[in-house]
Structure 1
């Protein structure tokens, strides 16, 4: 245990964890115990605690430290038993040195409203944050040469998934232990040992368990939906929750969305919940299986239809299937919400029998797809050539024959970082090469223009983007090969 006298120390050093020389991979939590000698104002009248706290805070003499309450029980056991409380004071105030007391404190002592007493503040391992602990355990030269400490991870349910740099691998068990300690929701920590897609075309990855049980069956809640899956068998990235929400917010109830690389359904299932028809496909049989289960779990099977095909084939087949479903008069039935049903139940206290329960409403499947989503950033752009002829001989379904526009395509992709528009222009050129029509950077609603949105950082020099564009007529209506 480290004993610190507050005299001569500023706040930053007082509340810094002890410097620890630890053997590689060894976490001795007892070494993080630390005591700090402070002064405290014992308030005689319990009713005046709040007033004195505000006064001392305004004067800057109240202790203000993260995760430490300024109100504590009296260090004297007898007084503590009587309920006497103390206010911890800033380290510059010394109990044994009245010269450090402000005039307000001196007046409070003189009037016997408060008394200044020594107080020993004890901190242990539980107090320090993950970053505090790692800064104490990892060698400074290692931190300095590798941009600080390895604290980031991708979380899927109870699993923390790390991608440690080689330099930190000797400390991997130590790092994992601290993550478990400092994140109550985490039960298992794994480290990726190969790049996504290196060993599997399904974007799964080889991993090693660093801490906790080898249990990757997880449950995740995202965008008001529940997903269960084996994290080792499918692709999931919680850092994409915002992107999932952004696109789902664009979709309108009653539209049809074709999710070409749907995974386990992070776009499809929330869209289905808002009444969007989704033809959702994934090439990975395990993703397809879990998507089926999650569609049922979230009760969106009227709106979301799962498929297990190669995306290239699925693009055209989905357009044909949607058209056939519409011609055949297929529909979803939407009834009143559970809240409305409960309010109209005869046994309900709020029942208004004069108000009839709304009849279920039929929502027909429209004949065309409004959006294609292609979330396979490594290769999705190469699938775009298969849009050629997707609506061959069906021009009458779209403008100018109807008010329906050709589908918006949202294709995710990677590109290098740059300080200008070079990556965005490069993405447009790659799209142009695949669909055979020159596309320029601009607004997706304008003919032959692409809007490109940055989604997230992937690596120091690599970004993920989403490129959106309206499918050009010369592509959609071209003759099928």
Structure 2
């Protein structure tokens, strides 16, 4: 039994240093841990080594509890006792790694179970070069015992595309009619002896007699390897393999690094071959820095068709991927923010996009006011409302700038809600259970927050019985700013950023919640706070001469504010 320590080699001012980290709860070090270590050290890690340390098997630490670390567990339990991860850098603090380990096996065949080495560096797809003969360990099992044996052997069976681990024998074989051949996956065993012992143990428990393990020459081709296996075989070893891509309907979206660009077209072709549902493969060319939150893209392979449909949390969304913003990684957040809504709730979605917040909210019978500046997003939003059969009386859409939406549509509705004695236009204020404001524009949303200060400054009879609005503003962390002024505390930096925009808001009234990782030094967070009467009416609490708390309008000229304070007379804006 082992514990695992993580030893990190790095450099400070030209001096090589070694740091040791002990994972909590004897966890096996993971890629996420390496990222956190890099962030804490503020340095580029040159090399990381995981070293198993013997421990008492009677302790409560159990490696089996860490089932999500399957890759690391696989390496540590089946291969060498020391595993090194070479780290490569493409951006500051952006780490990636490739395992480099040696595996001692008794047979050369078990080490070479992969596509032929001749495809390495291929930039134009030649499927015929993947044809190969591999030697695979097999046993021959009587047909009568086959079903019983498969229950125990299936997890050790060879798993390749378009290939069953159970094959018929050659017609010339004397047992052609009565036996079948079972193929083992050689990658699941460290040595031939380990495979032999496992087979003997299983066969002995079932009183089954088969032939001994032999190596069978299996013909494989391009069709038998999946996308990841093909790309690992093609991409040179000094370049990190593809980590993943996003699927939006029939479109696959990559964000390829510069060193991967020579292989971009072969990546697109292979993906089309391996994932039948994908018809279009694109690569992102620029960051999202324009008004409509879209990015330039290039077609790598497939159809030049960007209009698609995708499904998220049982809702269907139609979009033109080249003209609107869509992020497949926000499905959990969309569900989190809308799952608890009901008919007594009101939602203002300031940057609604094609409706991932607005449509689920309307389907849960909340009253929704959805807005987006992008005319294509607005068109898709209207289509998606019909596509998901939303009650159109519950959702009102607009195509305005976010600030204009706040100062017109949202202001008018809040004024109706919070002013006593005015016509509510059929709205039953007593039934309102919550008012939520969603601002999903992480790069810029916080710059719109000042629009809420004094938004109801002309309301004289403020209705205090209605629940106050809750602002949920999505932001990206600013790590350099947090490091310079807040000791690396990104929550403090976000709170400071938000309170600077909203007059009268205190940092203690702001909560910050993690949403997702964007990059090693960039996180997406949700900043939430309540719009108080003082913020909306543009007033603040001050001390009068008789020490009683009063309210003074913050939007008055300084001289008038001073005169009001001296007379201890207060007017509520």
TM-score by length of 1: 0.76
Question: 1:250-293: per-residue Cα shift (whole Å, max 9, x none)?
Answer: 43332110000000111000111111111000011111111111
Cα distance change, pair 364–185 in 1 and its aligned pair in 2 (3 A): farther
Aligned partners of 1:72, 1:319: CA distance in 2, in Å? Answer: 67
Structure 1 range deviating more: 237-246 or 27-36 = 27-36
User: Which of residues 102, 110, 115 is equivalent to 1:17?
Assistant: 115
Deviation, structure 1 residue 189: 1.0
CA contact (8 A) 1:387 1:435 kept: yes
Cα distance change, pair 56–171 in 1 and its aligned pair in 2 (3 A): closer
Deviation, structure 1 residue 237: 1.0
Deviation, structure 1 residue 103: 8.7
Residue number in structure 1 paired with 2:338: 248
User: Which of residues 441, 451, 460 is equivalent to 1:386?
Assistant: 451
Cα distance change, pair 431–103 in 1 and its aligned pair in 2 (3 A): closer
Cα distance change, pair 321–73 in 1 and its aligned pair in 2 (3 A): farther
Cα distance change, pair 297–140 in 1 and its aligned pair in 2 (3 A): same
Residue number in structure 1 paired with 2:126: 28
Residue number in structure 1 paired with 2:286: 194
1:415 aligns with 2:482: no
Cα distance change, pair 122–424 in 1 and its aligned pair in 2 (3 A): same
SS of 1:454 mapped into structure 2 = strand
Instruction: Give the count of matched residue pairs.
Output: 417
1:73 aligns with 2:138: no
User: Which of residues 252, 256, 259 is equivalent to 1:164?
Assistant: 256
**Which ranges of structure 2 fall in alignment gaps of 5 or more residues?**
1-104, 418-422, 539-552, 556-573
CA contact (8 A) 1:323 1:366 kept: no
Deviation, structure 1 residue 182: 2.5
Aligned partners of 1:49, 1:88: CA distance in 2, in Å? Answer: 13
Residue number in structure 1 paired with 2:440: 375
Deviation, structure 1 residue 422: 1.2
Deviation, structure 1 residue 416: 3.6
Give runs of aligned pairs for residues 135-146 of structure 1, distance below 5 A. 135-141=232-238, 143=239
Aligned partners of 2:263, 2:473: CA distance in 1, in Å? Answer: 39
1:429 aligns with 2:519: no
Give runs of aligned pairs for residues 92-241 of structure 1, distance below 5 A. 102=200, 113-115=209-211, 119-141=216-238, 143=239, 148-197=240-289, 200-241=290-331
CA contact (8 A) 1:388 1:480 kept: no
Cα distance change, pair 395–189 in 1 and its aligned pair in 2 (3 A): farther
Aligned partners of 1:206, 1:186: CA distance in 2, in Å? Answer: 20
Deviation, structure 1 residue 376: 0.6
Residue number in structure 1 paired with 2:4: none
SS of 2:324 mapped into structure 1 = coil
Deviation, structure 1 residue 88: 2.9
Deviation, structure 1 residue 51: 3.0
User: Which of residues 88, 107, 112 is equivalent to 1:8?
Assistant: 107
SS of 1:252 mapped into structure 2 = coil
CA contact (8 A) 1:73 1:80 kept: no
Residue number in structure 2 paired with 1:337: none
CA contact (8 A) 2:471 2:530 kept: yes
SS of 1:190 mapped into structure 2 = strand
SS of 2:117 mapped into structure 1 = coil
Residue number in structure 2 paired with 1:345: none
Cα distance change, pair 40–193 in 1 and its aligned pair in 2 (3 A): closer
SS of 1:305 mapped into structure 2 = strand
Deviation, structure 1 residue 225: 1.3
Deviation, structure 1 residue 230: 1.0
CA contact (8 A) 1:329 1:365 kept: no
Give runs of aligned pairs for residues 42-57 of structure 1, distance below 5 A. 42-44=140-142, 46-53=143-150
CA contact (8 A) 1:319 1:391 kept: no
Question: 1:315-362: per-residue Cα shift (whole Å, max 9, x none)?
Answer: 13233443588745447xxxxxxxxxxxxxxxxxxxxxxxxxxxxxxx
Residue number in structure 2 paired with 1:406: 468
Aligned partners of 2:267, 2:311: CA distance in 1, in Å? Answer: 26
Deviation, structure 1 residue 308: 0.7
RMSD across aligned C-alpha pairs, in angstroms?
Answer: 3.5
Question: 1:49-96: per-residue Cα shift (whole Å, max 9, x none)?
Answer: 133345668xxxx944444654332233677974742333576669xx
User: Which of residues 460, 466, 475 is equivalent to 2:535?
Assistant: 475
Cα distance change, pair 365–205 in 1 and its aligned pair in 2 (3 A): farther
Cα distance change, pair 323–35 in 1 and its aligned pair in 2 (3 A): same
SS of 1:389 mapped into structure 2 = coil
Deviation, structure 1 residue 135: 1.8
TM-score by length of 2: 0.65
CA contact (8 A) 1:322 1:367 kept: no
Deviation, structure 1 residue 101: 8.5
Cα distance change, pair 43–325 in 1 and its aligned pair in 2 (3 A): same
Aligned partners of 2:528, 2:403: CA distance in 1, in Å? Answer: 18
SS of 1:185 mapped into structure 2 = coil
SS of 2:108 mapped into structure 1 = coil
SS of 1:140 mapped into structure 2 = coil
